[in-house]
Amino acid sequence: MAMNARYDVDAIKRAANGKTLDILHDLCGVPNDVIDAALAGNNREFPCPKCGGSTRFRVTSFDRGRVYCSHCCRDKSEGSGDFLSAVKWFNDCSFSEALSLVADYLGVEPTTGDSSVSASRHAPTVAPPRREERVDVYYYETQRGERLWRVVRTERPDGSKTFKQERFENGGWVAGLLPDPNDGKKAIPVPYNACALKATLGLIEIYVVEGEKCADALNELFRLAGTRRVATTLAGGSSQASRWRLFVSGLPRVPVVVLGDDDKPGRKAVDETVEAFRNAGFDVRAKIFDAPPTFRGAGYDVADWIADRRAEGLTDLLIFDRLDRETRQEEKTNETPSEGLFVKIRSLDEYEDRDFEWIWPGYFPTAGISLVGGEPGVGKSTLLAWFAASLSVGRPFPNEPFEEREPCSVLMFRGEDDVSRVVKKKAAQFGADLSKIIVFEEFTEAGKFVPPSLQRLDSLAAAVDATERKTGVPCRAIFVDPISIAWGDGVDSNKQTDVRAVLRPLQVFVEERNLAAILVTHLRKSGTNDKSSLKDRFIGAIDVIAAARVAYLLRSLRKRPGYSEMRCVKSNCFDYRNVDALQWTMDANGELYMDFDAGKDDDFDAEPKKSKKEEKEEAARRWVLNYFSEHGTDDPEHGRTVRRGQYKPGDDADGIWVAAKNNDLLARDTIREALSALRVEAWNFKKEYYFSLPHSEPADG
């Protein structure tokens, strides 16, 4: 047969009809158990006869002779096209050589038809194994799309890989990069996919990986799943991970996910990358996918993980969903797949037994939201300044038995009070370590400054991390005074759905971070002193207080001038009706003195405001009592008695109060009500007229 014989491809395919599995077995070495499984319609996976990896290989179409290995097959030209592609792939030969092998096997003679292909006839019946080099080129561009340099990745027949870095110079590609004048190392000009990183509108997360192959695999998955995420990397592999610190300032402020390779350099690179981003205030989480037992080689990465999931038959959307969940470290044992959804369930016996923990024992719990409400001027900010000062220096609270506690840091939102003139001076007055009380002023997003809000938990988490790095001690509390500054855009605090949408995620956040969130609010004006209505006095929807673990109302004590009181009105940590009310006062030197009142008032206000009518009635009773005390004498039979002289027809029983009435202190109806309330009697004896106050009433009022 001639060296350059030509074959009709269509003729070969017609001759192969019904014989594709024989071709795979005889020319490609596909084992009998794989062939039998394909004939039986079983699509399970087998060890790959080419690379040796288990649970990776299967025949996907026995009529066309299509095979697939999740590790070997990079595209449809490698095995996954038809039996001709499989022969080419298994024998590491050209397509024309594969044609010749199949033609000889089927007995097809060469032809010169239009659809014929020339074939070299030097190939034996089964070509000797020969792997070809695989070359991939990855371009690095500026945010304007200008190509600066590229990485040429070459995978050799023996499995080794080389990476060549080239810069674009004088209209062509030149090997190597220019050195950085600061440290002499090669200067990396931009991260991979810089253009996509610039498009910050709607960007949800940034994925940082090791290698351009993984970045491309992730970006293709994100595109197919329809999600606004971008994968990037730095050239040079794991050795360049620490240099992310040079680029973080130019990235959009969104959460970052770091995915590393399953080997020692990959784990080190993950630690260095996470440190670079966290030091810049990013919300970071990391994940390394463990290599399966069947994996041959080192450095199992996210590209391998995606290929394995596709080999399992998962859709791109489900692969992305699993990727997102696994990077968030959710428990797989509690996830039940059902029609593409993953439902997290857990029985009560699987939950750990836990008691409430306290940042201030018995008053403010950790891992929860506490709400403090009160009228202006009752001392809300003063009490919180003392609270923050105590935490910052480790000063024990009055109801704690020990002499000191571990100092911690406090993160407070910048509120209505001037920080320099008010907040700082109050904290210093109570002996605070000012370096441990941090003010959250703003964060940057897409090149602009944004005030903090409770809606943006990503920025809040970054602020907590930055607080701990700055202070060197754990952050245990977040203060928001008042809460109205932190609802964020578009939130109506009077709508339950809006309030829940903010406070429910906040509760989950503080539980995960073991933080105490102290939220301060004002009260609505109210004339009632009914205990059941106290919760309604908090400004905002009822869900504001419902979402809190504990809620307190603050007031000024009229019975103890100069004192204020904090009384619990709602709690799911204890029976709030039995908790001691906290009372405090501040002396001229700024010292705060506290004591605890175990008494329980059914009415929050000890001296509720009275109506004008009630005030007049009380004034009338006081006047009557004082009059009897000053002008009366004790009568054994009638009580305290006043003699008013000879009786005259037409005298009214209230005649003696004419002086008070004339002074506009009392009206006639008010006089009658006071006389009736005090049970004053009018009587005559020998034409003398008397009024008596019974002994049962105190004569001195």
CATH architecture of 612-693: Orthogonal Bundle (1.10)
Res 201: pLDDT: 58
**Mean pLDDT calculated for residue range 603-625:** 66
Q: For the chain, what is the mean pLDDT? A: 75
Residues 395-406: tens digit of each pLDDT: 888 877 777 788
Residues 544-576: tens digit of each pLDDT: 888 888 888 888 887 778 888 888 888 887 766
The CB-based long-range contact list for 194-202 (8 Å cut-off, 24+ gap) reads 194/140, 194/141, 194/142, 194/143, 194/232, 195/141, 195/142, 195/143, 195/144, 195/145, 196/230, 196/232, 197/143, 197/230, 197/232, 197/251, 197/252, 198/143, 200/252, 200/254, 200/446, 201/446, 202/228
pLDDT tier at 410, thresholds 50, 70, 90: very high
116's CB contacts (< 8 A; 6+ apart) are: 6, 7, 8, 9, 110
Rounded Cα distance, 437 and 431, in Å: 12
Tokens 């794989």 correspond to 34
378's CB contacts (< 8 A; 6+ apart) are: 554, 555, 556, 564
Strand-pair partners of 473: none
Residues 185-220: tens digit of each pLDDT: 666 667 887 777 766 556 788 899 888 888 888 988
Residue 332 is encoded by which pair of tokens? 């797989």
3-state DSSP call for residue 478? strand
Q: How far is CA 240 from each of CA 174, 210, 276, 332, 577, rounded to the nearest angstrom?
A: 21, 9, 12, 33, 60
Out of 300-304, 371-375, 528-532, least confident range:
528-532
**Mean pLDDT calculated for residue range 96-106:** 82
Top pLDDT among 435 and 227 is at 435
What single string gives the DSSP state of each residue in 160-219? -EEEEEEEEETTEEEEB-PBPTTTSSBP--S-TTHHHHH--TT--EEEE-SSHHHHHHHH
Is the pLDDT score of 425 beyond 60? Answer: yes
Distance of CA 265 to the CA centre of its chain: 30
Contact between 508 and 538 under an 8 Å Cβ cutoff? The reply is no
Rounded Cα distance, 281 and 269, in Å: 19
pLDDT tier at 434, thresholds 50, 70, 90: very high
Contact between 87 and 96 under an 8 Å Cβ cutoff? The reply is no
pLDDT tier at 536, thresholds 50, 70, 90: low
Rounded Cα distance, 27 and 38, in Å: 17
Name the range with the highest mean pLDDT among 448-457, 532-541, 596-605.
448-457
Tokens 């025949």 correspond to 59
Count of Cβ atoms closer than 10 Å to residue 56 Cβ: 25
Contact between 121 and 1 under an 8 Å Cβ cutoff? The reply is yes
Res 530: pLDDT: 42
Q: Is the pTM of this model over 0.75?
A: no
167's CB contacts (< 8 A; 6+ apart) are: 148, 149, 173, 174, 176, 177, 178
Q: How far is CA 469 from each of CA 200, 279, 366, 435, 524, rounded to the nearest angstrom?
A: 27, 8, 21, 12, 40
Top pLDDT among 184 and 169 is at 169
Out of 256-260, 429-433, 509-513, 622-626, least confident range:
622-626
Q: How far is CA 690 from each of CA 178, 192, 638, rounded to the nearest angstrom?
A: 116, 106, 10
Is the pLDDT score of 2 beyond 50? Answer: no
Name the range with the highest mean pLDDT among 74-78, 148-152, 154-158.
148-152
Is the pLDDT score of 532 beyond 80? Answer: no
Res 486: pLDDT: 87
Residue type, 391: L
Is the pLDDT score of 697 beyond 60? Answer: no
Residues 293-322: tens digit of each pLDDT: 777 667 788 888 888 888 877 778 778 877
Is the pLDDT score of 446 beyond 70? Answer: no
Residues 252-261: tens digit of each pLDDT: 888 889 998 8
Please state whether beta strands 229-232 and 581-586 pair in parallel, antiparallel, or not at all (unpaired). Answer: unpaired
Helix or strand (DSSP H, E) at 440 = strand 437-440
DSSP state of 363: T
Rounded Cα distance, 632 and 690, in Å: 10
What single string gives the DSSP state of each residue in 491-552? --TT-HHHHHHHHHHHHHHHHHHT-EEEEEE-B-------GGGGGGGBSS-THHHHT-SEEE
Res 296: pLDDT: 66
Res 479: pLDDT: 94
Contact between 382 and 556 under an 8 Å Cβ cutoff? The reply is no
- CATH code at 191-325: 3.40.1360.10
Residues 278-292: tens digit of each pLDDT: 888 888 888 888 888
Q: Which CATH superfamily is domain 358-549 in?
A: P-loop containing nucleotide triphosphate hydrolases (3.40.50.300)
Top pLDDT among 114 and 176 is at 176
Is the pLDDT score of 140 beyond 50? Answer: yes
Res 133: pLDDT: 63
Residues 12-32: tens digit of each pLDDT: 887 887 788 878 877 887 877
Res 379: pLDDT: 85
3-state DSSP call for residue 693? strand
**Mean pLDDT calculated for residue range 681-697:** 75
**Mean pLDDT calculated for residue range 640-663:** 57
Contact between 340 and 318 under an 8 Å Cβ cutoff? The reply is yes
Rounded Cα distance, 623 and 35, in Å: 112
Rounded Cα distance, 576 and 154, in Å: 70
Question: Nearest Cα to 138, choosing from 130, 123, 149?
Answer: 149
Contact between 538 and 604 under an 8 Å Cβ cutoff? The reply is no
Residue 479 is encoded by which pair of tokens? 């203060």
Question: Nearest Cα to 193, choosing from 231, 164, 220?
Answer: 231
Please state whether beta strands 358-360 and 4-8 pair in parallel, antiparallel, or not at all (unpaired). Answer: unpaired
Is the pLDDT score of 650 beyond 70? Answer: no
> How deeply is 257 buried, as exposed, middle or buried, from its count of CB atoms within 10 A (0-12, 13-18, 19+)?
buried
